[in-house]
Amino acid sequence: MMTVRSLSVSLLLLFVGASPLAAQSRPKVTVIGASLSRGMSLAEEASKRGADWLFAKLPEERKSSIGLGSLVAELGSAVVLDRSDLYLFTDPLHRGEIQIERACGDGAALILALDFLFWFGYWPEEEKLPKAESGSPLLQAYGKSDADLERCLRSLEKQHRGFALIDRLIAKTTAPIVIADYPDMFGANPLMLSPNRIPLRRTLDELNRRLERFAAERPRLLVFPLADYVARSKRGLVSLPEGDGRRVLPDDAIQGDNLHPTRLGTALVLHELLPLLRERLEGEAQRALPAPLAFADLVAKAGAEAHYRALLAAPKPAPAPAASSASK
């Protein structure tokens, strides 16, 4: 028979197990970055500015999103410290430094920084330009008097500054850090991202070559191939993991601005990211990952169940057309 004392102890243990103290046994995951990490819903942002009419004709699933940090938190395997900033693009260096300093003090077992470097390359600014070395491949690619070379150099200068912040993070932490390469967002709504703020194809290639070399020299850096995912997504070549192999149309993975992911799109990114992390991570970082789960369960955590069910119920679409060239 349970005594009053043993009952009290049992209730106390139950209370402690359900309290925030229980979270202390879970590994920490820090998230830094911009809109992919933080989440950017068109409907919510338009409403803040009294411009609901702007996206009123879009279906709900094309103007709603969830941040990668929030989705990871929903999975419950780790304590997520989301330091990402939706407005990183307004001042990448200053706002990026704030994120880095916070991340350095978190003591996380894993740091997700998928889109942290995005604005350290996109949106080249008017600033003092580095000099291109005589005979460099850049000069050969762009031409000595080509204004496109100046845009390229500005993007590379921004990337250099972003790399310096990542190096600071590496120096002050011990966790694996997951970054991503630069996707081609050509075709984004110009109200959200004007074409002159998108690096040219040649510049993107150079940014990604330099990022690859940068990561190769730093063992704790893992690179997620976001550029490949975005390219496949824009061409309708991403298949639903559960759904007789049918592919996700671009409109289902990306919101109406052709820039930010839908809730389903964020779930697809995480679905492709997790196997890479399970293969490469170990120790506390591995323990921070959720157990393998069905894609339908991941979609439910992302709040995209209705969208997902509608896709599965719809007739299977025709094969995607051949790819056309993007920015040049």
Task: Report if residue 205 sits inside a domain.
Answer: yes
**What's the CA dihedral at 80, 71, 272, 234 to 10 degrees?**
-130
Helices 305-313 and 295-302, axial angle in degrees (round to 10):
130
Task: Report if residue 278 sits inside a domain.
Answer: yes
Task: Report if residue 253 sits inside a domain.
Answer: yes
Q: What are phi and psi of 127, to 5 degrees?
A: -155, 170
Residue carrying structure tokens 């991202």: 193
Q: What is the DSSP string of 11-43?
A: HHHHHHHHSGGGGGGSPEEEE--SHHHH---HH
Q: What is the pTM of this model?
A: 0.86
Residue carrying structure tokens 């938190």: 73
Task: Report if residue 301 sits inside a domain.
Answer: yes
Task: Report if residue 1 sits inside a domain.
Answer: no
pLDDT of residue 323: 53
Bridge partners of 180, per DSSP, are 224
- Look at the chain and report how many structural domains it folds into: 1
Alpha-carbon distance of 84 to 33, in angstroms, equals 5
Q: Could you tell me the CATH number of the domain that includes residue 292?
A: 3.40.50.1110
Helices 263-280 and 226-234, axial angle in degrees (round to 10):
140
Q: What contacts 196, CB < 8 A, 6 or more positions away?
A: 151
Evaluate if residue 293 carries a pLDDT over 70: yes
Q: Which residue has the higher pLDDT, 243 or 259?
A: 259
Task: Report if residue 14 sits inside a domain.
Answer: no
Task: Report the b/e string of 48-72 with b at 16+ CB within 10 A.
Answer: eeeeeebbeebeebbbbbbbbbbbb
Print the domain residue range for 283: 26-313
pLDDT of residue 121: 96
Task: Report if residue 155 sits inside a domain.
Answer: yes
Alpha-carbon distance of 243 to 245, in angstroms, equals 5
Predicted confidence (pLDDT) per residue in 190-199, tens digit: 988 988 889 9
Predicted confidence (pLDDT) per residue in 86-141, tens digit: 999 999 999 999 999 999 999 999 999 999 999 999 987 654 555 555 556 666 66
pLDDT band at 259 (very low <50, low <70, confident <90, very high): very high
Q: Which residue has the higher pLDDT, 13 or 162?
A: 162
Comparing 53-62, 231-240, 298-307, the range with the smallest average pLDDT is: 53-62
Evaluate if residue 326 carries a pLDDT over 60: no
Predicted confidence (pLDDT) per residue in 20-31, tens digit: 445 569 999 999
Predicted confidence (pLDDT) per residue in 28-44, tens digit: 999 999 999 999 999 88
Single out the residue of 106, 60, 51, 52 nearest to residue 84, CA to CA.
106
Mean pLDDT, range 143-158, rounded to an integer = 80
